[in-house]
Structure 1
């Protein structure tokens, strides 16, 4: 099959009014950044080419802004075999959603994609400069960080193997698939109570594993007891599983109990340190602080997706990315009109 498409096809697929002539040109000419022929100056540089970054790029590409996406190929949900609660893509494989999104975004010939890891950034007179691990440097008037977060796994054997499969973080993303199953919640205090209240609608077999002394208010204890939710004040040593599917939790004292699924609240850090190095502030939870327009605390820098929201989902990433693209385009337009 030829890798050439016509400009008439681009009009149909991308929605851009470029020309009525059907002049063929190679798709690769504008999809992948060519260090030998392409200029390294852009209107916007987007760090992170997964759902949020691609969504922002589409909005900007449709406004004919020159955009470079830099992506290292490590999306936050790479552990998860299926994505849920995203309309039209419920149950889809995450990588398939991203692949299709990338194909559609790169139909816009002002958007280019660079496979690499961004390692440093600095403010310049005309905007910002980003350097990659390979030593390449790119300049942009605006920056968008769609870099997600990096989960910090506990020292529990088998935990990482099950993460995103049968050890899950969100009842909205994965809970329905485990309805009616024997469920563990590895958390304590308000967080455990909140998850238990949501999961209680999905199953009658819930046990909270507090990993130490339980820290619940008196009224919380009463509600947990009323809903027959058990509490185990032990530390988990190991998760027995088969290809990521839980069978048993083994505790530090050697005792064990069978479960089919476990919810877990674990700490995280920013996947990319560049926005922090540039002075962007974070929230108490550790997310990049943004306003209602996805602007960070540093002018010219935006953030979207998991790195700036506790709502970790594909749907939210796409939504905030779309808003970010529109807001960046508006700012560029107001500055140049």
Structure 2
């Protein structure tokens, strides 16, 4: 396949990349999906909010998707990591960690986001088991439990009312200065939400289930779950290396159909959106695939004149 001209090389095999592959395969395009097999959600036991797949393990979701996609012969899956991309619209050369090379007309980055190292002691042990980032994904499992929100500032004032829909037993740890206004502190106080701005010393847990959050000032907060704001970085440095515009938050800048600022290069899923849900990533992958297919078909149509 490396010597053939591909229509699209998809970098990343999560929900966005897989759904894009499905749509493009059905459109009879030659596709390769390059994915190293270490997704961000591998720490979680189950994904939620995806109709017909609610509660499915991320690994099972991928396996089922590949099984469905395998009926379309123009799609190939490569377990590898793309380490360099050169060229321009119509002829990109992708080189992988294992030395394979592919030539493709278009590139789709579905690389997702990755967590920076978790600096709070004990957080890594509970991440994906009783500490989560999205209440839509995991709030139901922690309904009516005593929870800690680790966040601060304006984002905290979004998170606190949101999580109140699942439980009214909420304590906030800002892990340093709270970055709140006086009015925001008063609002939280009116809702009987306690705010602690001492640095978190450690999170104690048993077999992945959080038991308490211990602060540097000696405060101990008992809880059964945590929601926190992750510190994220784009899942690959290749989009920026290729010249794609990146936001300060690390997202790839695209239009409504996944087109980046570089001709012939697209992006979909968590790398290009803050809608960090499996179903949203899959949807964006499908729509971006439609845009790519339309562009390829129009180019072929015009060349045939």
TM normalised by structure 2 equals 0.95
Aligned partner of residue 167 in structure 2, secondary structure:
coil
Match of 1:169 in 2: 133
Match of 1:117 in 2: 81
Larger radius of gyration: 1
- Residue 188 of structure 1, CA deviation: 0.7
User: Structure 2 residue aligned with 1:129, among 75, 78, 93?
Assistant: 93
RMSD of aligned Cα (Å): 1.4
Would you say 1:236 and 2:200 are equivalent positions? yes
Which deviates further from its counterpart, 233-242 or 294-303?
233-242
Deviation track 1:144-168 (CA, whole Å, cap 9, x = no partner) reads 0111111113322221121122111
Which deviates further from its counterpart, 204-213 or 50-59?
204-213
Contact 2:42 2:58 in 1 (8 A): yes
Match of 2:34 in 1: 70
Write the distance in 2 (CA, Å) between the matches of 1:333 and 1:123: 21
Deviation track 1:171-202 (CA, whole Å, cap 9, x = no partner) reads 11111111111111111111111100101121
Contact 1:131 1:138 in 2 (8 A): yes
Aligned partner of residue 77 in structure 1, secondary structure:
helix
Would you say 1:155 and 2:119 are equivalent positions? yes
Would you say 1:203 and 2:167 are equivalent positions? yes
Would you say 1:269 and 2:233 are equivalent positions? yes
- Residue 242 of structure 1, CA deviation: 2.0
Contact 1:153 1:266 in 2 (8 A): no
User: Structure 2 residue aligned with 1:336, among 271, 279, 300?
Assistant: 300
Match of 1:314 in 2: 278
Write the distance in 1 (CA, Å) between the matches of 2:140 and 2:89: 51
Match of 2:183 in 1: 219
User: Structure 2 residue aligned with 1:297, among 258, 261, 277?
Assistant: 261
Match of 1:143 in 2: 107
Cα distance, 1:200–1:125 mapped onto 2, change above 3 Å: closer
> How many residues in Structure 1 have an aligned counterpart in Structure 2?
301
Hey, which bits of structure 1, 4+ residues long, moved more than 3 A?
A: none
Structure 2: gaps (5+ residues): none
Q: Larger RCO: Structure 1 or Structure 2 (Cα < 8 Å, ≥ 6 residues apart)?
A: 2
TM normalised by structure 1 equals 0.86
User: Structure 2 residue aligned with 1:278, among 220, 242, 259?
Assistant: 242
